[in-house]
Amino acid sequence: MLFPWGRIPAPGREQLSEELERTTRDARLSRGLGRSYGDSSLPARSDDKVVGTRLANRILHFDPETQVLRAEAGFTLLELNRLFMPRGFFSPVTPGTQFVTLGGMVASDVHGKNHHVAGCFGAHVRALRIRLADNRIVDCSPSVEPELFFGSIGGMGLLGHILEVEFRLDRIPSPWIWMEARRVPDIDAYLAALSEGASRWPMTMGWIDCVSGGRALGRGIMMAGRWLEPDEAPRAGPRVPKALTVPFEFPSFAINPLTVKLFNIAYYWKQLPLKVEKRVAPAPFFYPLDAVLEWNRLYGPRGFTQYQCVIPRAAGAPAVRKFMELLTRLGGASPLCVIKDCGQEGQGLLSFPLEGTSIAVDIAVTPRIQPLVDALNEYVIGVGGRVYLTKDRFTRPEHFRAMEPRLERFQQARDRWDPERRLRSAQSVRLLGDRL
């Protein structure tokens, strides 16, 4: 069995290997640490050859002058941070967990708190080495085989197996963050705060209460941050705290409307002052959930999904408010709902973000999940938004086509690089019509 982060597994086995050039031969899918929530890292059939890349984790080259790092696809962000943060370098873009591989970061074209200024991870990638479906190995970049390059960025591994990734690290002035957290009373104030924050802070995002309705609809805690300058930061780097682990799978009823409601109220009032400013370590700022290993066990055996969509700026603040109304009305109860202001769309053929507001909600899998996702998708299609494939498990193919005008272009790229559709995942069969 192979498990994604949402814990709904598929039969299959991954072949771990230190030598991707050897093992990816005739493979149909590569997966890193299996942190995508839905079915993008799961095989379409149990006998499909799936390569696990996490042992292929060598740094191939790093030049501190140009800040360019080249590494094998299984090199993790955790290692990158551990080794390079003390030396004054940081990934130009980081998602909300460190437990991801470079290959996965490219395939998902991950975004982070700095999307409004830095774009997605793919915008910082200079070159990729890729194993194609016909077993050739090709080096590509924005100028060499650009279709393969931009199709692989956010392409969920469907154009080729990512073997090596070359990208440019950021220099950071210190390994400490200055953070501001503000309690925001409702969704309109929230959107205003996000937009105002984006002009002043390089990093913004927030937690949003998606249970309370009425006047409290969309209230939450907005966070903003920047790296501390050397003269403001303590001499010593932050200590790495020991992570806790959820020791066993909770029963499915542990997360229910009541506990979610209580969690949301407690989380909102956890911060009593309207505004808190303080120095924090990067780990709790960027990766608050990494402090609890295997937290997905809290959802129990039924598993969960994350619904993440982006609502374009053009649709305006009322569209976000309506989405939140719909979400609270349909009871998409979630302890964790994250809102983020996105910058411009990147160049990845299927890359998720576009200029607007991204909202991500964890939802336990219940019999009501399909109609809930359908209803949210129908709304998102209406306002010209789209969903994030890395999180998706329940979107219908016709809905995906309707929200993704770029799909045809992506399929054309696949026609050229993998006309027989040898590369596939459970997700590509579900959403892109790949045959079993």
Residues contributing to the site for other proteins (CB under 8 A): 13, 15-19, 23, 55, 58-62, 64, 83, 87
As measured in angstroms, the least distance from the Cβ of 30 to other proteins is: 14
CB of 127 or CB of 265, closer to other proteins? 127
Cα of 207 vs its chain's centroid, Å = 16
Residue position matching structure tokens 């989380």: 267
As measured in angstroms, the least distance from the Cβ of 56 to other proteins is: 9
Distance CA 23, CA 117 (A): 38
CB of 15 or CB of 271, closer to other proteins? 15
- H or E element in which residue 180 lies: strand 177-184
CB 85 within 8 A of CB 172: yes
CB 155 within 8 A of CB 55: no
Plot region of 26 (φ>0 → left; ψ -120 to 50 → alpha; else → beta): left
CB of 82 or CB of 416, closer to other proteins? 82
Interaxial angle between packed helices 369-382 and 316-330, expressed in degrees from 0 to 180 and rounded to the nearest 10: 170
- H or E element in which residue 62 lies: strand 59-63
As measured in angstroms, the least distance from the Cβ of 140 to other proteins is: 21
CB 271 within 8 A of CB 265: no
CB of 74 or CB of 346, closer to other proteins? 74
CB of 22 or CB of 215, closer to other proteins? 22
CB of 71 or CB of 110, closer to other proteins? 71
Length of the chain, please?
A: 436
As measured in angstroms, the least distance from the Cβ of 64 to other proteins is: 7
As measured in angstroms, the least distance from the Cβ of 213 to other proteins is: 46
- H or E element in which residue 83 lies: helix 77-84
CB of 169 or CB of 198, closer to other proteins? 169
Half-sphere exposure of 134 (CA within 13 A, CB side): 9
The two tokens of residue 65 are 């002058």
Q: Where are the beta strands (DSSP E) in 267-355?
A: 275-280, 292-293, 304-312, 337-342
CB 26 within 8 A of CB 59: no
As measured in angstroms, the least distance from the Cβ of 52 to other proteins is: 8
Helices (H), 247-383: 257-270, 282-286, 316-330, 369-382
Phi, psi of 87 (to 5 degrees): -95, 5
As measured in angstroms, the least distance from the Cβ of 24 to other proteins is: 12
CB of 61 or CB of 270, closer to other proteins? 61
CB of 82 or CB of 200, closer to other proteins? 82
The two tokens of residue 307 are 């619904």
Residue 184 buriedness (CB in 10 A; 0-12 / 13-18 / 19+): buried
CB 238 within 8 A of CB 176: yes
**Dihedral (CA of 360, 43, 374, 253) sign:** negative
Residues 6+ apart with CB under 8 A from 218: 186, 187, 188, 190, 208, 209, 210, 320, 321, 324
CB of 55 or CB of 407, closer to other proteins? 55
